[in-house]
Amino acid sequence: MRILVMSDIHANYTALEAVLKDAGAVDETWCLGDLVGYGPDPNEVVEKVREIPNLTCLLGNHDAAVIGRMPLETFNGDARRALIHHEKILTADNMDYMRSLSSDVKVIGEATLAHGSPRDPLWEYVLTALSAQLNFGQFTTPWCLVGHSHVQLMFAMNEKNERITVDQTKVDRPIHLRPRLILNPGSVGQPRDRDPRAAYAIYDTEEKTWTPRRAFYNIAETQKRIREAGLPEKLALRIGEGW
């Protein structure tokens, strides 16, 4: 099967549209959470995601906050302002949809799915060899797919010596999967690796490949809507530079 894996859309509808178009026909879509937060289009994003066929979607930490499962005080000022705004404008139907999502780790075939990490699905960032090492013992599948950090990364563990290697994956360069790996598709709506293009990945279960992808989108259009919504200027600036 050809599976679209994406994460951290963060209410950026224009970026989401670009990813869905760029990915083309897929058999399934896996979303690793954070439909809302930061961006200007929470309702449009949730409604679009709800329409995707053969979808598996996890709850992210921003999603959990906007439906009242996590204190807003745990977020920084800019993130909190966006969440308060989203809380006010999200429709009842879209709130109910997010309440139906689970933050629990999910296993599908050879992959374990988590928003943050298998050890702490909602909050932990897997960004270093140490954080990866602490998580390899928390899943039993050959590979684990995580989001949350907004960076396209791969962590590999050598099972003979338990050494961890970290690689920033290359766009459009397929990775031939082997045990044991932690893979991150990056962020659709707010990349943080100095590449402002929307990030995602294609997972081929038959070929056993993982291909990081990027899609151009109209960033200025999203920035305009961020400003029109009265959200912090930093949230508009950062999507233009990918930080």
235: pLDDT strictly greater than 90: yes
- Contact in structure between 183 and 152 (CB atoms under 8 Å): no
Q: What pLDDT sits at residue 168? A: 86
What are the tens digits of pLDDT across the range 110-166? 999 999 999 999 999 999 999 999 999 999 999 999 999 999 999 999 988 889 999
pLDDT of residue 160: 83
pLDDT of 191 over the 90 cut? yes
Report pLDDT for 24: 98
Model confidence pLDDT, tens digit, residues 212-228:
999 999 999 999 999 99
Instruction: Give the closest residue to 213 by CA, choosing from 177, 183, 179, 243.
Output: 183
Other CB atoms within a 10 A radius of the CB of residue 21 amount to 10
pLDDT in tens, 66-105: 999 999 999 999 999 999 999 999 999 999 999 999 999 9
Residue 188 has pLDDT above 90, yes or no: yes
**CATH of 2-241 given 3.20.20.100, 3.60.21.10, 3.40.50.10490, 3.40.190.10:** 3.60.21.10
d(CA 63, CA 72): 11
Q: What is the DSSP code (8-state) at residue 76?
A: -
Domain positions in the chain = 2-241
* Interatomic CA distance for residues 223 and 147, integer angstroms: 23
**Position 51 confidence tier, pLDDT thresholds 50, 70, 90:** very high
